[in-house]
Each structure stands twice: as structure tokens, then as C-alpha cells.
Amino acid sequence: MRRRSAPSHALGSFTFNRNASRPKPGTDPIVKIFQREQRSLFGEILDWMLTPLLLVWPVTLVLTWLVAQGIAAKPFDRALEFNVQALAQLVVSNNHRARFFLPQPAREILRADDADLVYYQVLGSQSEFLSGERDFPAPPSGDNAQPGEVRLRDAEMRGQDVRVAYLWVALDTPDGGPALVQVAETREKRSVLATEIIKGVMLPQFAILPLTVLLVWLALTRGLKPLNQLEERIRARKPDDLSPLDDKAVPLEVAPLVSSVNDLLTRLKDSISTQKRFLADAAHQLKTPLAGLRMQADLALREGANTEDLKRSLQQIGRASIRATHTVNQLLALARAESSGANITRQPCDLARLTMEVVQDSVPRALDKRLDLGYEGAQPDSPGTMLSGNPTLIKELIRNLVDNAINYTPSSAAKPGIVTVRVLADPFGQVLVLQVEDSGPGIPPAEKDLVFQPFYRALGTEADGSGLGLPIVMEIAHQHEAQVTLDDSHPGQTPLGALFSVRFNSLTAQAQELS
């Protein structure tokens, strides 16, 4: 193996970037120890619709009670005001003293109430008792009511809550003080009227509330019916029917879900088609060496075969078995690469070290073909050569590129072929590039897209190969978020040669992306 100084090679514009069309693999989901019970969409919506309704109902009851109390108090307050004003007209000044006379008929009318008790009190200008109840509660201290102004207050008399109306009456007395007239009434009629208002408002709601719940239930059942119909259409499908669902027959809110399902069906259909094609191609590729093995065995077993014929048949059987083994190994490698996906184990890898190990392992094959195989570029442990990846898969990628170059590069003693492997590290740009360059015939532009497809081999070549090396390279590169490019190593010259470049993000760049 030889080492050369790394010349500058511009990466071509013909880029195969499968990573651009596929999302980056995400992190593994955290396995929850406690799994929540599966939730019902119907029950969830019903809860969110009925819970506010059931919460608002008691709030409405309280507000209605407060409003009813105010409505019931107004007519009785006006009656109290009228009574206290009527009693105030009976307070007169006689011989410069306050006098009050309540006729017996008026006294009976004042107390004639079957539901509530009515109390009154009249005090003179010097707070002397004139008439009524002696234990009547006094007005609040600091009251600054003007004479003739009726005031209302709540109080307690003889262990009962009462509503009191009072007013001060101006008198022509030597001291100039006003007289006080108060009338109180218990609150029984007010409570009864408020209760009747509550009954009139709330009792119909006891019938309306179940009806509302029933209507919500029916509306929700009707609204979710398209989902049930969609479920029935999906269940009625045949197992092999992967055609898209009709997103026009579902509600607008469900259309994105149907669109996602259709996208999944399309990708699943493509995946199944790819698998079928892969199996067919694999069977075809294995059929050829197996048929050769059988033919050579038949030739060796024919009558009259001499030692030379038997030896030649055994040699052909050996080559065919090697080819079949190589094809099987490549199939297994491709299957492992595709199944690894986002679950590959990553660790810091030195790309220069891995590349040099692969080149050293490939030297015997290059010597057998009389090829000049060399390595150029960054040395192990150099700045910028580290990346985060799976070392086994990365070595598989490098080995397939090197094997591809060795297989398709013509070489002879007079004119040896040249295969150069490079690792170019840019610690400032945080880019790491692997290049494999050969002096072979190159790949026509029309076939540059096709060589990365499984089992495709460039036309006009007689090299042994399974057509799986470059698809393996592409799959491993995708799993490491790398880009693969294919260019002519000697544009405008003959032979053109081929230059494969794999652009990785260095370990520093990957750490910045994760952060």
C-alpha cells in the first residue's frame, strides 16, 4: 500500500442524497411503566361538553337565588317605606313637646299579617319613648340621615331577622331635635316569594337538563358517524387492497388523518413492490451460479470424462460457488443495513483509521489484479477525522467502494490500473469526505442513477459482481446522514475513471446539530 499527498478534488454536482427525502431518525420512545387506559374519543368529547353544562347549572342556581332575593325585597321595602312615612305624619309638636297618637283601627291594620310580624317604635326629640316596642334596635351609630329621608337596614329583633325602615322627623321643639320613627318586619314573605321565583325558574331546568344531555348525545353520535363509516370501509377492504382512501367522503377535520393514511399506504405499497422485486432479482442472481454448478456437476459425471475435464469442471464449480457465496453475503449485508435503520449503535469513529484498515485488507486482491492501490489524505488521530457512527457499517461502506473500484478497473503488467482512497478532513468547515478514485472506464451519465439500484451492473463490463455493493453504500450513508456523489475522475480524458465521494458531518458538527 502506498501513501501520497492529497491533491485537491472538487466534488462534482451529480449528487445522490437519499437523506434529503427522508427524515432524520428520531430517538427511541421512552417505555412507560404505567400505561394509561385507552381513551374514547366519544367519551372525551361528551365529558368536555357535559362537564361545563353541569358546572354552570349550580352557578346559575346561586345567581338566580341572589337575583330572586333582590326582586322579592323591592315591593316589601316599598311597603315599609310607606308605613314609616304614614307613622311619621302622626308625630306632631304640642306645647313644644313631641306627641304621637295612633288610632286603634290603624294599629290593627299595621299588625294584621298572617305571615310576618310588624313592629314599630316612635321616639321623641330627646329620645323619649312615645309608642311601639321598647326593645326595638336602635339605628347604627354615626347615622347622618337627614330629616324626612327614609333609610333601610337589616337587624335582629327577639331572635328573628327583620327588615327595618326608619326616618327622622323634624319638630318645632325648644331643643330642635328630630323625632325617630322606625318600622320593622320579619322576612318570611320575602323568603317565600324568593322560593317561588326559584321554583318557577329552576324547575323547568330539571326537565330541560336531561333533554339537553340527550340532544348532546344524539348530536355527538351523529357527528362521529363518518368515523364509523370510515372504519367500516377499511374493515371491508381485502388484505391486498392498498389503494388510497377517498378523502372527499370524510369531514374536513378527518381529511388530514385520511391523507396521512393514504401516504402510509402508498409507502407501504412501494415497500412491498421493492421487496417483491428484490426477491425476484435475488432469485434470478442465485439461479445463474446454481445452474452453473449443476451443469458442471453433470459434465463431471458424464461417461468418458478424463482427468482434465473433471479438474476443469471442479474449477468451474469452485468459481460458481464463490460467486454464489459472494452474492448471498452481499444480500445479507444489504438486509442488515436496511434493517438497522435508526437503531444502529453509534460511537466516535476515526474515519482515517477505518479507511486505512480496509485498504490494507484489500492489498492482496489489488496485487492479484496488478493494481496500484494507495491511500492519501488525513492520518489517524488528525483533527477533524472523528465522526459518530457504527464502525462495522462504515467499514462495510468503505470495503464496498474499494471492491467496486478493484472489480471495474482494468489492469495489466504493462499498464497497471490505479485506485486511490482518500480521507479529506476540514476541521474548520466540520466536513469529512471519503473519496475512492479509479482509472477505469468510468460510468456513462445515463447510468449514474442506475448503478445505485440493487442488482444493476454497468453495461459493457465483464467484472464479477452482484450489483449490490453500491446500494449497500447508499443505505449505510443514509443511516449516517451522509451524501454520496459520483463524478468522473478525469473529465475529458480517456478513460474517464470514476470518483465516488461520501460527505460526512464530523463529530463536532453532529454534536452541534444534536444540541
Residue 16 confidence (pLDDT): 39
Question: Which pLDDT tens digit goes with each residue over 363-372?
Answer: 988 998 889 9
Q: Is 334 part of a structural domain of the chain?
A: yes
Query: For every one of its 515 residues, what pLDDT tens digit does the chain have, with 9 covering 90 and above?
Result: 555 544 444 333 334 343 444 444 444 444 443 345 667 777 788 888 888 877 887 888 788 888 877 787 888 888 888 888 888 888 888 777 888 888 777 666 666 566 788 888 899 888 888 888 888 998 888 777 788 889 999 999 988 999 999 998 888 777 667 889 999 988 888 888 888 888 887 778 777 888 888 888 888 888 878 888 888 888 888 888 888 888 777 778 788 888 888 888 888 887 777 677 667 666 666 666 677 677 777 777 776 667 777 777 787 777 777 767 766 766 666 666 655 555 667 889 999 999 999 999 899 889 988 899 999 999 998 888 899 888 888 988 998 899 889 988 888 888 889 999 999 988 776 789 999 999 988 888 888 878 877 766 665 555 555 667 788 888 888 888 899 999 988 887 888 889 999 999 877 655 455 44
- If asked whether residues 318 and 360 sit together in one domain, one would say no
Question: Which pLDDT tens digit goes with each residue over 267-301?
Answer: 888 777 767 766 766 666 666 667 767 777 777 77
Cα 5 from Cα 61, distance rounded (Å): 90
Q: Is 462 part of a structural domain of the chain?
A: yes
Q: Is 63 part of a structural domain of the chain?
A: yes
Q: Supply the CATH number for residue 363's domain.
A: 3.30.565.10
Residue 398 confidence (pLDDT): 93
Grid coordinates representing 381 are 488521530
Ramachandran angles phi, psi of 116, nearest 5° = -120, 160
Which residues form the domain of 356? 344-514
Grid coordinates representing 188 are 318570611
Radius of gyration of the chain (CA): 50
- If asked whether residues 390 and 468 sit together in one domain, one would say yes
H helix intervals, 302-348: 307-340
On whether the CB atoms of residues 483 and 502 are closer than 8 A, the answer is yes
- If asked whether residues 199 and 300 sit together in one domain, one would say no
Ramachandran angles phi, psi of 182, nearest 5° = -130, 140
On whether the CB atoms of residues 407 and 465 are closer than 8 A, the answer is yes
Transcribe 398-447 into DSSP letters. HHHHHHHHHHTS---SSS--EEEEEEEEETTTTEEEEEEEE-S----GGG
Max Cα-Cα span within the chain: 168
Residue 327 confidence (pLDDT): 67
CB 252: neighbour CB atoms within 10 A?
A: 7
Sole residue written with cell 344531555 = 213
Could you tell me how far CA 94 lies from the centroid of its own chain? 91
| Pairing of the two strands 418-426 and 372-377 | parallel
Cα 180 from Cα 387, distance rounded (Å): 99
- If asked whether residues 203 and 291 sit together in one domain, one would say no
On whether the CB atoms of residues 439 and 416 are closer than 8 A, the answer is no
Q: Sort 513 into a burial class: Cβ within 10 Å, 0-12 / 13-18 / 19+.
A: exposed
**Domains: count for the chain:** 3
CB 36: neighbour CB atoms within 10 A?
A: 6
CA angle 257, 263, 265 (to 5 degrees): 105
Residue 30 confidence (pLDDT): 40
Which residue among 279, 307, 342 closes a domain? Answer: 342
Q: Sort 211 into a burial class: Cβ within 10 Å, 0-12 / 13-18 / 19+.
A: exposed
- If asked whether residues 273 and 364 sit together in one domain, one would say no
- If asked whether residues 321 and 364 sit together in one domain, one would say no
The residues, any chain, with a CB within 8 Å of residue 65's CB and separated by 6 or more, are 194, 198
